[in-house]
Structure formats: C-alpha cells, structure tokens
Amino acid sequence: MKHALSLLLLVVVAGACAPAAPRAVTIAIHYSQYSTNQVDVPAGVPITFTIRNDDPIDHEWMIGDMAMHERHRAGTEAVHASRPDELTIPALSTRTTTLTFPVAMTLQYMCHLPGHEAYGMFGVLVAK
Amino acid sequence: MSRSIVFALGLVLSMLTLAAPVAACGGLIGPNGAVNLLRTTTFVGYHDGVEHYVTAFQFAGGGGKFGSLTPLPGVPSNVERGGAWTLQRLVRETQPIKALAPAAFGAERNALDRVEILLETTIDALDITVLKGGGAAVGEWATAHGFRLPADAPEVLDFYANRSPIFLAAAFDADAAAARGQRIGDGTPVHITIPTSNPWVPLRILALGKQGNDPVQADVYLLTDRKPAILPLARGANGLTLAYDQSASKPLLDDLRSDAGMGWVPANGWLSQLRIDTNASTLSYDLAIDVQGHSPSRVAAGLETPGSSDPTPIALTMLAAAMAALILVALREQRRTVSA
C-alpha cells in the first residue's frame, strides 16, 4: 500500500513537470466569417490553432490587443508569415500556429484585409 | 415563343482616389477590393430565344488594372464590340433632352469546382474571359488572375453559380487604355449574345464590395415585344421603381436597329425603364423577367434557392397528378371496404 501511494505521487509530479500537450482549436472561415467569434482557452498552456480558409479569397487571422489591431488597420504588409500571432491564410488552404497565453487575458482576432473587419471578421479570445 | 427584350448596359463607375473603368451589371474589383459605384445604366435585348447583352466600360482616367465580374444567364455564343449609340439612345428616349442641343451620338466545388474557359477575346483595352464554374472555382480563378475580390465575393459568387455557373470576367488595363489614346469618358461597349430561355438581369452584383448603407443606383432598360412581367415587383419601397412603361417608338427602334450588331431589333416593342435606388443591404435580388407576361421565376429573381419550392408548372402538374392518384387509391379502398 505504501509502495502504491509512492508510485501514484511520482506519476502526479512527473505529470506536472512534463510539458503540457498543446490544446487544439480549429476555426473555419466561410463566406468571410469566422466559424466562431469567441474562443475560451486556458492560460499558461500552449494552444495550437488551426485556421481553415474555405473561401476562394485570402484571409487573415491576427490576434492581439486593440493597439496591435489599430497598427494593422493602417498597415501595408501584404502577407504575414513570420510571426505566430499573425497569419495569412491563402484561399482554400489551412494554416496552424501554436501560442501560449501566460496569464489570463482577453485578446481580439481579426482579418485586416480591406473591408473584411467591417464585414464581420472579428472575434474574441479569452484566456483564463 | 420568345419575344425581344433589349437590355443595354452602360455603366458609369468611378472611384474616389483612383479613376477607373468599369462594366455594367458587374461587380467592379479595384486594387483595394472596394469601389464606389455611381448610377449605372443597363440595357439587355432578348429576341427569338437570344439575349443581347450590351454593356459599356467607361474609361475614367487613372492607371493600373481593374476587373469586373458579370454573372450571365447562359453561355454566350458571341462577345463583340457593341454598337456606338445604343445605350445613349435608350437613355434619351426616356429622358428627353429639353434643350435645343442635338443628340450626341457616337462619342462614345462539385462538378463545377474547377473553371472551364469558354471564350476569350480582347476588345480595345478589355481582356474578356467567359468562365464556367462554381463560385469557389471562379473566385479562385479570379484571384489567381489578379482580381482582388472583396469580402462578400465568396457568398455572392455562390449565389449566382448555384443558378447559372457562367461568368464574364473583364480585365481593364487603364495604362493600356491611356496608351491607346482613350480619353477620360470614352466608353467601350461590349455586346454579349446569349441564347437562353431564361433571361434575367444581375442586380445584386452591383452591391459587391459595398457596406450595408452604401447607396446603389442603376437604370435597367428592357425592350420586349410585349409588356413583360418582372420580379420583384417595382414597389418603390424595395428600391425598384418602374420609371417608364410604354410601347417603344418607331424612331427609337429604327435608331437601335441601325447601330452596329443591332439588326435583330424587331419592328415593334415595349420599353420599360426600371430604376434601382437603394442601399447595398437591400439589394439582395436580381431582376427576373417573363417575356410572355406571365410569372417570372422566383429562383431567377434570387428570392428562392434552386431546388426549393419554385412552383413551376411542371411541379404543380406532378403534384396534382400525385394527389389525383392518391384520391383514386382512397376511393378504390373505400369501395373494397364497402363490398366486403
């Protein structure tokens, strides 16, 4: 019995030290709308986002605070490829990215291609 | 069976910062995926089962390349340069010039998830391609060929492709137009000949790339052998008004017939002018026409999706036959019960 308790404790500690498996979130884009406009995720664990563009036009999935979005509204960068929180998803294709939100926070995700935000391409991510 | 309708499309589009060219009942795609559409004018002709679609692309200055996508009710048998004065003559017929100035003629994914190129031609500075394909395939083709489609394009392309998977893409090279010596205001009329038994005029495409409250204004001229039935009804409140509705005058028909490619214009006709004055969110329909004056298709008008309960005569006949059969079976069973 004592041996069994020691083994159980070891498993729990090992589990706590091992890197957490990424959580998966899939967001589809159809008719220039995200399939969901609110995503809740746990803070402090990596989240793998899969963004699937079912439209025959390009879209973006840019996640950040309002200041970041304000910069992109006036931005001139045609394609986003080098930052994990800024994705360009070409027509009829899928992109993935993994992000970790260290603390509880609320961010917005949007498409900043001309007219797309106004058409409704925005959502909220809540990490808690 | 079919009579004649004349639609001619003349389109005056312009942009705030970039002057551009454009097409009639087509959605214009500019460099930033959005344009400002001023009042447009449209004419289409239908005679002996053939729709004659005349649209004008007007060079409004500026540079760069622009494109236009126009949904069509059928596969064109020909695309050629249009006549020089058809559009202007029809406008003058319904809006007589009050001054003494002389008339100004002559200045001017399923089976369809891939695109099939049906026709390619060049008219002045316009590169024209007729495509057959589903909405996604046409959108993908357009994107690959430099068209920057606005956010509402995927839904609008499916809206049309589900009823008629034929599109006319026109790419306009403003620099080439300027090099050709085209001046601001010069128009390039295009005459599209479409054999079809189901004429309709794309209107919803005029709102492509616009915000909900953005205004959409257009004039559609119809010339038919007799007074046509249209759908939606011109109620005014729905943004559609019947501004002119009377027998076409002989001088008008003679003038139209004397324009290039317009020899098909019949000796008699009925002229209707439909005025669209609404906003983008209201313009969710097309103009369906029954040239016999009966019941235009709700599907063609975009009020119902294909395969829904569009009460065609065949469907009603089959329904009536099925009901009659059920009644006969019921009567027979009743007789059997009585005789037993």
What pLDDT is stored for residue A95 in this prediction? 96
Cβ separation A119–B151 shorter than 8 A: yes
CATH number reported for the structural domain that contains residue A94 in this entry: 2.60.40.420
B209 vs A1 pLDDT, higher one: B209
The ranges assigned to domains in chain B are 4-309, 311-340
Residue A13 lies in a domain: no
Whether the per-residue pLDDT at B294 is higher than 50: the answer is: yes
Are A51 and A94 in contact, with CB atoms under 8 Å apart?
Answer: yes
What pLDDT is stored for residue A13 in this prediction? 34
Q: What is the DSSP string of B44-101?
A: EEEETTEEEEEEEEE--S--SEEEEEEEESS--SEEEEPPSSHHHHHHHHHS---SSP
B144 vs B1 pLDDT, higher one: B144
Quote the CA–CA distance of A9 and B157 in Å, as a whole number.
60
What pLDDT is stored for residue B177 in this prediction? 74
Q: Which residues in chain B are closer than 8 Å to A118, comparing Cβ atoms?
A: 151, 211
What pLDDT is stored for residue B324 in this prediction? 55
Q: What are the tens digits of pLDDT across the range B90-121?
A: 877 776 544 444 433 333 344 457 899 999 99
**pLDDT class of A3 with cuts at 50, 70, 90:** very low
Q: Which of B84-88, B90-94, B199-203, B326-330 has the highest mean pLDDT?
A: B199-203
Q: What percent of chain B has pLDDT over 90?
A: 34
pTM over cut 0.90: no
- Give chain A's domain count: 1
A32, A92, A113: residue with CB nearest B140: A92
Residue A71 lies in a domain: yes
ipTM of this complex: 0.75
Q: What percent of chain B has pLDDT over 70?
A: 68
Please, what is the average pLDDT of chain B? 75
Cβ separation A55–B154 shorter than 8 A: yes
Residue A100 lies in a domain: yes
Cβ separation B149–A56 shorter than 8 A: yes
What pLDDT is stored for residue B53 in this prediction? 77
Q: Which residues in chain A are closer than 8 Å to B135, comparing Cβ atoms?
A: 56
- Range with lowest mean pLDDT among A51-65, B154-168, B319-333: B319-333
Quote the CA–CA distance of B13 and B37 in Å, as a whole number.
5
Backbone dihedral region of B236: left (phi > 0), alpha (psi from -120 to 50 degrees) or beta? left
Cβ separation B154–A32 shorter than 8 A: yes
Q: What percent of chain A has pLDDT over 70?
A: 79
What pLDDT is stored for residue A61 in this prediction? 96
Interval B166-193 mean pLDDT: 78
In degrees and rounded to multiples of 5, residue B204 shows phi and psi of -60, -30
What pLDDT is stored for residue A35 in this prediction? 95
Whether the per-residue pLDDT at B307 is higher than 90: the answer is: no
Q: What are the tens digits of pLDDT across the range A35-93?
A: 999 999 999 999 999 999 999 999 999 999 999 999 888 777 766 767 899 999 999 99
- Minimum CA–CA partner of A116 in chain B: B151
Q: Which of B152, B159, B208 to mutate: most A Cβ within 10 Å?
A: B152
Q: Which domain holds residue A115?
A: 21-127
What pLDDT is stored for residue B64 in this prediction? 64
What pLDDT is stored for residue B55 in this prediction? 74
Cβ separation B151–A116 shorter than 8 A: yes
Helix (H, G, I), strand (E, B) or coil at B221: strand
How many Å lie between the alpha carbon of B155 and the closest alpha carbon of chain A? 5
Residue A5 lies in a domain: no
Interval B309-331 mean pLDDT: 50
What pLDDT is stored for residue B87 in this prediction? 77
Q: What are the tens digits of pLDDT across the range B131-140?
A: 999 999 999 9
B252 vs B18 pLDDT, higher one: B252
Q: Which two tokens stand for residue B110?
A: 């399923």
How many Å lie between the alpha carbon of B32 and the closest alpha carbon of chain A? 6
Q: Which among A23, A24, A124, A117 has a CA at the least distance from the CA of A75?
A: A117
Whether the per-residue pLDDT at B256 is higher than 80: the answer is: yes
